[in-house]
A and B are shown apart, each in its own frame.
Chain A
C-alpha cells in the first residue's frame, strides 16, 4: 500500500484565452510547478480567493484536467485511469450526483453499478451509510422534494457508496443553514475518523475547514502560498487577541501612550479597539488596565481571538508574506 493518497510532481496547467473572436490568444498559467503530497487519512483544505487556481489544482490531481506539464498519482495509479477513479468519491455542492426525479435509493443503486458493486454490496452500503448519515427515512423519495440539507446528506452517501479511499468535497455546505452545516460537518468528521478516508475540501466557509481539516493548502495565483497545519496559518497572530471597548461617553484619553503589549487598532468617540499580545500581557491585565483608564465609562468589553477569516484575508491580499 502506498504511503500517499495523492501526489503531484511539477504539475502545471496553462489555458489559452481570448477575450473576443479575433483577439490574439493569451496564455494564462493557472497552476505553476506544483509539488504536493497528501498522506492517507489526512483531511486537507484547499483555500484561496476566486480564480486562485484551487479548483484547477484539485481537478489536475484527480485527472479531470490534463496537465500541461508534470504528473499526478492517486495512490500508485496515474490520475485519470480507471483504477485511480475507483478510489475517488465526489461531493459537489453545486452539482448533483443524484437524479432529481428518481428516488434516492434507486439513484444510489445506479451509482453502485457505475462503480461495479454487486447489488448485495450496494444495498448493504446504502443501509450502513443511510443509518450513519440519517437518510433512511427518505430513501424512497426523489431529491427534488427534499430540503437542501437532506439532499446534501444524500449526496455525500452517493460519494461514499463505493468506499472510496479519497473523498473530494467541493463547497459541500454551500446554501445550507447553520444547523444543516453543523450536522453535515459532524457526520463527515465522524466518518473520516472511523474510515480514515482522505478528505480534500474546498470551501469558502472557514468554519467547514476548521471543523473537518487539519491541514491547509493555500493557493494564490496558481502557486502554493502556505502548506501546513491549519493552526500554523495564524503564525505570530496566534498569540494576539482583539479587545473591543464600548464607552458611554467620548473619552479624551490620549491613546498614544498605551501600555507595552497593547496596540491601538481602531478608535472613535465611543468604540476603542486594541490588539494585545498574550505573551507580553494577559487579557485580564489588559482589561484591568483599561478599567483603570476609562473607569465607569465602559459599557461593554469583548475579547476575541484573531479569526481564521481575517488571517486568510491577509494572505489573499499579500499582507502576510
Chain B
C-alpha cells in the first residue's frame, strides 16, 4: 500500500513534468489563451454588451475562466497517450485504470493551474478591477481540483471508447460541442432566455463549467445553493465512476488489437 502510494505520487509528478515537456504545446497554449480571451471579449463587446446580466468586467473574467476549463478538457494527446499505454499495461505490474486516471488528472490540473496563473497576469489588461481577478482566481482554485476529477473521468471514458472502437474523433467532437454549448462557454447560461436556460442549467456540463465559473465571479451559484451543486457533482461523479468501470471492462473484454 505504502509502495503504491509512493509510486502513484511519483507518477503524478512525472505526469506534470510530461505535460510541460512539449515546448511547442506549452508555448502554443500560452499564446492561444490570451488570444482567445481577446477575441471573445471583442466579439462580446461588438455583439452583446447590452444583454449580459454579469456586467462587462465580470463577463471578461468569466470568459477567462471558462477558457481555462474548455482548453484543458478532453484533450486529444492525453486520450491518445492513455490508449496507446493500454497494451503495455497488461504486461506491467500496475493497474491501467489507476495509472491512466492519475496521469490524466495530474496533467489536466497542472495545465489548469498554469492557465490560472496566466489569467492573473493578463486579466489586468482587460479589466481594471484587480480584486475581481484575484478573488475569482482564488474561488476558482478551490473548486478546480474537484471538477478536474469529473473531467478526468470523461477523458477516461473516451479513452475506453477509443480502445473499443479504435477511433473516437466523432465522440470527442460531440462532447466538445456539448461542453461548449451546455457548459456555457459560448455564452453565460444566465443570459440565455427561458425555457432554454432551465434546460441548459440542468445538464451535467453546466455544473462542470458554467456554475464553477459563475461562483468564482459572483460568490454564489446561479439559481442553486452550494449544497445543491455539490450533491449534483457527487451524483455525476458516481454515475461517471460506474460508467468508467463498465466501459473499461467492456473494452478489456472486446480488446483484440488485430495486426500486432
Instruction: Using CB atoms and an 8 Å cutoff, list the residues of chain A in contact with chain B.
Output: 15, 30, 50-51, 55-56, 59, 62-66, 80, 82-83, 85-86, 88, 90, 94-95, 97, 99-102, 106, 110, 113-116, 142, 168, 170-171, 202
Contact = CB atoms under 8 A, between A and B. Distances in A.
Given A86-B93, A101-B21, A110-B10, 12 more contacts: A15-B258, A62-B91, A63-B91, A65-B255, A80-B90, A88-B91, A94-B260, A99-B18, A101-B18, A106-B17, A113-B7, A142-B21
A20 B30 CA distance: 44
B170 interface: no
13 contacts: A56-B256, A62-B91, A64-B257, A65-B256, A83-B93, A95-B84, A95-B88, A102-B17, A102-B18, A106-B17, A110-B10, A113-B11, A116-B93
B14 interface: yes
Nearest to A116: B3
A51 B259 contact: yes
A82 B93 contact: yes
A62 B93 contact: no
Contact of A114 (B94, B252, B255): B94
Given A90-B88, A95-B84, A116 B256 contact: no
A158 to B, nearest CB: 10
B87 interface: yes
A15 B256 contact: yes
B50 interface: no
A83 B93 CA distance: 7
A202 B260 CA distance: 10
| Contact-size category for B | 20 to 34
Nearest to B19: A101
B256 A64 contact: no
Contacts of B22: 100-101
B91 A85 contact: yes
B93 A115 contact: yes
B2 to A, nearest CB: 12
A56 B256 CA distance: 8
Nearest to B86: A64
Interface string B7-41: 10011001001100111000000000000000000
Nearest to A164: B91
Select the residue from A83, A85, A101, A102 with max chain B CB neighbours within 10 A: A101
B48 interface: no
Contact of B90 (A30, A63, A100): A63
B93 A114 contact: yes
B22 to A, nearest CB: 5
A115 B260 CA distance: 24
Interface string B210-221: 000000000000
B225 interface: no
A66 B253 CA distance: 8
Contacts of B90: 62-64, 80, 85
B253 A55 contact: no
Contacts of B253: 66
Contacts of B87: 64, 95
A97 B92 CA distance: 11
A110 B15 CA distance: 10
A241 B91 CA distance: 44
Contact of B260 (A85, A100, A102, A171): A171
Given A90-B88, A116-B7, A59 B93 contact: no
Contacts of A90: 88, 91
Contacts of B23: 101
Nearest to B255: A65
Nearest to B4: A116
A62 B7 CA distance: 24
User: 3 closest Cβ contacts across the A-B interface?
Assistant: A101-B21, A64-B90, A82-B93
Contact of A99 (B7, B21, B259, B260): B21
B93 to A, nearest CB: 4
Select the residue from B11, B84, B93 with max chain A CB neighbours within 10 A: B93
Contacts of A83: 93
Nearest to A96: B84
A82 to B, nearest CB: 4
Interface string B74-106: 000000000010011011111000000000000
Contacts of B18: 99, 101-102
A31 B22 CA distance: 42
Nearest to A166: B91
A64 B92 contact: no
B256 A113 contact: no
Contacts of B10: 110, 113
Nearest to A74: B91
Contacts of A50: 259
A123 to B, nearest CB: 15
